A and B are shown apart, each in its own frame.
Chain A
Amino acid sequence: MIKQFKQMPVAGNWACSARDSVKRQLLLVVVLFAVMSILKPSLFLTSSNLNAMAYQFPEYGLIALGVMFAMIAGGIDLSLIGIANLTAILMAKLLILWTREEMSGIQNIGIFFICFLLCMMIGAVCGMLNGCLISGLKIPAMLATLGSLQLFSGIGMIITKGKAITGVPEAYVRMGTGKLFGFLPVPLVIYMAAVFACYYIMSRSTFGMRLKLMGTSQKAALFAGQNNKRTTVKAHMAGGILASFSGLIMLARMNSARPDFGSSYTMQSILIVVLGGVDPAGGFGTVRGVVLATLILQCFSSGLNMFPTISPYLKQLAWGLTLLVVMIMNFYSRQRKAE
């Protein structure tokens, strides 16, 4: 009995070890960066590599933020990559349908803006469906999102008939891969904006507080007079919106949309979120931790790319091992704190 009691997660302990884990993560980012720079200074420390990194990580970083919301709520969201692909496909379709060669810049921007809003709404609706399945029908989050992942990519499959959509207007691609003020890549700007919004939601808003309370204990949240259904739906809607941003970035980078793109992102985003110190049982997690974990992963994978002899599949081996090791390490550090 005593042993069992010790293993029980206590909110205070998670918060305490989180402060440590942020320090640990920051150290890891710096060390990884330094090691890669020393090992391959001619490849890693170049502006083109740093640029490439800044274009890559916002895609799965946004999805990881979405998974964070779901996981803090006590569930998980595996369907976000499906939402991202679906929005990318719909955006491509809409853009091809509505833009003409002879349109002026202002008109183009207006159409982009409308499409952007529509896609955000699609993401939100998809997320809402997830939330309703989970809170309304009481399907376990894992299965509901597993099913909706099939559903969303199935809809994408039907729209594209299994092929990739190409021929996105060049103006969109230029905008999505361009740089703000000449030095800030647009995906990075979107990512940073999303991070600030999430940070504000998690630490300053009532919704963030409610989310954490619900993740810690559904029953306690219910007795506190919260509407748990609403909180769950909102959390998944936030995830859906973040995923739709990710889809828009992917569309600009790939210049095409496919229903089965980025299937490795699901695993990667769960890895990031757990690495970022979010409690897989729900109730605790910080935006800071998730952002740092995203940076760690990007440094690691960019660094591995510098060694052409290492097979890209070994990365998957590394992800799986890291996920297990980090979870076991967190387990022991929590146990130590409890004693």
Chain B
Amino acid sequence: MDKVKKIYTRNEFYTAALILVLAVFIELRSGLFFTSNNILDILRAMIVPGMLGLSEYIVMVSGGCDVSFPYSAALSMYSTIILLKAVDFMGNVMIAFLLSCLFGIVIGMVNGLIIMRYRFPVLIVTLATCSICQGILFGILNAHEIPAIPQPIQSLAKSMLIRTYSEKAQMAGSLPLVFLVFFILTAAVWFLMRRTAMGRSIFAVGGDVGSAERIGIKVNYVYMFIYGFAGFIAGLTGMTRVVLMDTCHPNTFSGMDMTVIAAVILGGTKVTGGSGSITGVMLGTLLFVIVNNSLQLMGIPNYWQKFFLGVLIVLGTGIAAFQVSRKRKKGKAG
């Protein structure tokens, strides 16, 4: 009985319920939701926001809010591609991924260094680095779309994990091979956060920096790790995006910051830090992807998207905050 009660009070429960309601509603209206190609489409659309969501999740558990990832991902992706094109790259695709991750780590380390040394508000620091990345990308590198990406990446873009054909929708669906990257990353982040000392330290720092310091956690080291790892994920996501789109567009991530942050919050990660689960992140991302993908299926014009997004963010954060304050009141009474 106690366990059932616990599930009710969790944000993940509401998000999952909302997803279910939405799915049934769309199925009833269009009859095209539970087709193999739509489900594969949704899984495919989850890859990039899901990966970015994982990086935001780690930062948010530590008590910060990173907004630099759209342009740090774009910058590491773009500089990797121009570097590879300059040397007429023909080798293993892994090298492209590694290079992009390396760029991402460097950008993340800059964030981490400033936050570690000065303890400024994370949002302001990452807003500044976001602006700097944007300036480097468009001002110095003169970024524009590169449609002809190196050969090894192109061949990866064409390899699929699953191919299906849905009789009902008369459409073929497919899941690209890079879905595995997303899957492995999710497992790795789960292992990091739940099974290692570093993960526990991140939760502790997010709960209370002062207490974490007193029990002997090297907070500066943890901060460096968090932002370095977030940068790593950003770089990885950049390359994955290139593979998915089969082209390299510098503006491909712009505007994604809000959706990703909102998805993570809707999944029950506390913005004040110290709490959150990967299941929640995935559910939040799934909800947003369904809303994005399915507005057309339901016949709602595209320009309503932003409004729904805003309502979801305000509702999601509102429910979470309301529950915290109610719990606190209960604690006082009991």
Chains A and B form a bound pair: yes
Find A147's partner among B65, B119, B120, B310 (CB 8 Å cutoff). B310
Q: Is the CB of A138 within 8 A of B139?
A: no
Q: How far is the CB of B164 from chain A (nearest CB, A)?
A: 34
- The tally of CB-CB contacts under 8 A between chains A and B is 150
**Chain B contacts of A297 at CB under 8 A?**
none
Q: How far is the CB of A315 from chain B (nearest CB, A)?
A: 7
**Chain B contacts of A324 at CB under 8 A?**
114, 125, 128-129, 132
A151 to B131, CA, bound (A): 23
**Chain A contacts of B140 at CB under 8 A?**
314, 317
**Chain A contacts of B307 at CB under 8 A?**
150-151, 154-155, 157-158
Q: Is the CB of B310 within 8 A of A320?
A: no
Q: Is the CB of B310 within 8 A of A144?
A: no
A155 to B123, CA, bound (A): 25
**Chain B contacts of A149 at CB under 8 A?**
258, 310
**Chain A contacts of B308 at CB under 8 A?**
154
A140 to B122, CA, bound (A): 13
The interface bits of chain A over 267-290 (1 if a CB of B lies within 8 angstroms of the residue's CB, else 0) are 100110010000011000000000
Q: Is the CB of A146 within 8 A of B258?
A: yes
Find A138's partner among B127, B310, B311, B324 (CB 8 Å cutoff). B324
A142 to B65, CA, bound (A): 9
Find B131's partner among A147, A157, A311, A317 (CB 8 Å cutoff). A317
Q: Is the CB of A133 within 8 A of B314?
A: yes
Q: Name A324's closest neighbour in chain B (CB-CB).
A: B128
**Chain A contacts of B306 at CB under 8 A?**
150, 153-154, 157, 259
A328 in contact with B128 given A143-B317, A152-B310 (CB within 8 Å): no
Find B124's partner among A7, A154, A274, A316 (CB 8 Å cutoff). A274
Q: Name A156's closest neighbour in chain B (CB-CB).
A: B306
Q: Is the CB of B124 within 8 A of A148?
A: no
Does chain B have a CB within 8 A of A318? yes
A133 in contact with B138 given A138-B325, A154-B307 (CB within 8 Å): no
Q: How far is the CB of B324 from chain A (nearest CB, A)?
A: 7
Q: How far is the CB of A136 from chain B (nearest CB, A)?
A: 9
CB contact list, A232-259 vs B, under 8 A: 259
Q: Kindly state the interface size class of chain A when it binds its partner.
A: 35 or more
Q: Name B123's closest neighbour in chain A (CB-CB).
A: A142
**Chain B contacts of A321 at CB under 8 A?**
128, 132
Does chain B have a CB within 8 A of A200? no
A158 to B309, CA, bound (A): 13
A38 to B261, CA, bound (A): 47
The interface bits of chain B over 257-284 (1 if a CB of A lies within 8 angstroms of the residue's CB, else 0) are 0100110010000011000000000000
Does chain B have a CB within 8 A of A12? no
A149 to B157, CA, bound (A): 36
Does chain A have a CB within 8 A of B59? no
A317 to B307, CA, bound (A): 31
Interface hub of B131, B265, B314 (most chain A Cβ within 10 A): B131
Does chain A have a CB within 8 A of B313? yes
Q: How far is the CB of B160 from chain A (nearest CB, A)?
A: 34
Does chain B have a CB within 8 A of A319? yes
Q: Is the CB of A319 within 8 A of B131?
A: yes
Q: Is the CB of A133 within 8 A of B123?
A: no
**Chain B contacts of A151 at CB under 8 A?**
307, 310-311, 313-314
Does chain A have a CB within 8 A of B134? yes
Does chain B have a CB within 8 A of A223? no
Interface of B, helix, strand, loop or mixed by DSSP: helix
Interface of A, helix, strand, loop or mixed by DSSP: helix
Q: How far is the CB of B150 from chain A (nearest CB, A)?
A: 26
Q: Is the CB of A148 within 8 A of B310?
A: yes
**Chain A contacts of B65 at CB under 8 A?**
142-143
A161 to B121, CA, bound (A): 36
A162 to B301, CA, bound (A): 10
Q: Is the CB of A161 within 8 A of B139?
A: no
**Chain B contacts of A311 at CB under 8 A?**
138-139, 142
**Chain A contacts of B130 at CB under 8 A?**
267, 320
A334 to B322, CA, bound (A): 37
Q: Name A280's closest neighbour in chain B (CB-CB).
A: B121
**Chain B contacts of A137 at CB under 8 A?**
317-318, 321-322, 325
Interface hub of A133, A143, A157, A313 (most chain B Cβ within 10 A): A143
Q: Is the CB of B123 within 8 A of A317?
A: no
Q: How far is the CB of A116 from chain B (nearest CB, A)?
A: 26
Could you pull out 30 A-B pairs where Cβ atoms are within 8 angstroms?
A139-B314, A139-B317, A140-B317, A144-B314, A147-B314, A147-B317, A150-B262, A150-B310, A151-B310, A153-B306, A157-B306, A158-B303, A158-B307, A274-B124, A280-B124, A281-B121, A313-B137, A315-B139, A316-B135, A317-B134, A317-B135, A317-B139, A317-B140, A319-B131, A320-B127, A320-B132, A320-B134, A323-B124, A323-B131, A327-B120
Closest 4 CB pairs of A and B: A317-B135, A154-B307, A151-B310, A147-B313
**Residues of A bordering B, CB below 8 Å:** 7, 76, 133, 137-140, 142-144, 146-155, 157-158, 161-162, 259, 267, 270-271, 274, 280-281, 311-321, 323-324, 327-328, 331
